[in-house]
Homo-oligomer: A and B are copies of this chain.
Amino acid sequence: MAMTLAFARPELDVKLITTEAGNQTQAKTVANALAFASYLGQDVEIAKGLDRPMFKALEIAAEVHGNSGLGDVEFPVPMLELSARTAVEAMKQVLMDSPEPVVLIATGPLTNIGALLFAHPEVKPKIKFISYMGGAAVGGNMTPTAEFNVYVDPHAANLVFRSGVPIVMSGLDVTHKAYVTLEELEELERMDTDFALKVAAMMRFYIKQAKQTAFHPADSEKCIRLHDLCAVSYVVTPELFEGDDCCVEIETEGRLTAGTTVVDYAQLSGKTANAKVLHTVDREKFVAQFFGAVEKMG
């Protein structure tokens, strides 16, 4: 979903896609990325990321994303091949070779970017900002206080949030408002292109899954949230979003709270803001933007 918008918009020049373990194992995530980008006719480097979180054992949200990670939708055998470079190496070289600062869009655990920033801090000046889908100022979806992407690798998230690189955080606060209704979904299906039908089928798959798990909120049967898309949409059209500049820190310890994004909305800590925490989206324009991208790519 998120890739669709990224490829569709002329404002973005997608140079590199890297994979993270988390929603699925690396093997499946890599296969999906190759298949999806190939299907869309994109010639882009896809590099494989690190296999597991920094310290924690890998936890996978397979029950949400389906066995293949793309619901049960099938894509043709990909034309693209996996890059010979690792994700960390590829990111480092793309950044160092870029004449101007680059935006990183991240929609999973932050293992690769954390490793990059820790091992190669010299890349920092080449990063304009990181648009991140993850975390939550209020609540969580994995534990009462932790969102899945941060929970999976809180230490890597900590490296990123402490790095000094500016972050725009599309946490659950905003992504829960970034949904497509069933009526809108039918509109997508009426486009009747192969791609629109595939996208709609994936979305229906997620809705069906949501009915069977405790992972999603109660209204998950009546709409579908496009969490990851927020992180791309913000880069293209920041005017669709509202948020506040806050200090965000990552709890890596705690018996109950590991993986919490501690967002200091009330400025109790006196610490400097390191992130813009989004809380509001113009939902109708957001959905229209996405449907426009599907139409263009289909």
Residue positions of A touching B, CB distance < 8 A: 50-51, 54-55, 86, 88-89, 115-116, 118-122, 138-145, 155, 158-159, 162, 214, 217, 249, 251-258, 260, 262-270
Contact = CB atoms under 8 A, between A and B. Distances in A.
Contacts of A120: 86, 88-89, 119
Given A50-B121, A158-B55, A139 B266 contact: yes
Which residue of A119, A253, A256 has the most chain B CB atoms within 10 A of its CB atom?
A119
Given A140-B268, A268-B143, A118 B115 contact: yes
Contacts of A50: 118-119, 121
B255 A144 contact: no
**Chain A interface mostly helix, strand, loop or mixed?**
loop
B256 A249 contact: yes
A64 B138 CA distance: 26
Contacts of A263: 144
Contact of A254 (B89, B254, B268): B254
A141 B88 contact: no
B249 A252 contact: no
A229 to B, nearest CB: 23
A122 B79 CA distance: 26
A270 to B, nearest CB: 8
Contact of A116 (B119, B267, B269): B119
A255 B253 contact: yes
A61 to B, nearest CB: 13
Contacts of A140: 268
Nearest to A122: B86
7 contacts: A51-B121, A55-B252, A116-B119, A139-B265, A143-B269, A217-B266, A254-B257
Contacts of A55: 155, 158-159, 162, 252
Which residue of A257, A263, A270 has the most chain B CB atoms within 10 A of its CB atom?
A257
A82 to B, nearest CB: 14
Given A260-B257, A262-B256, A268 B141 contact: yes
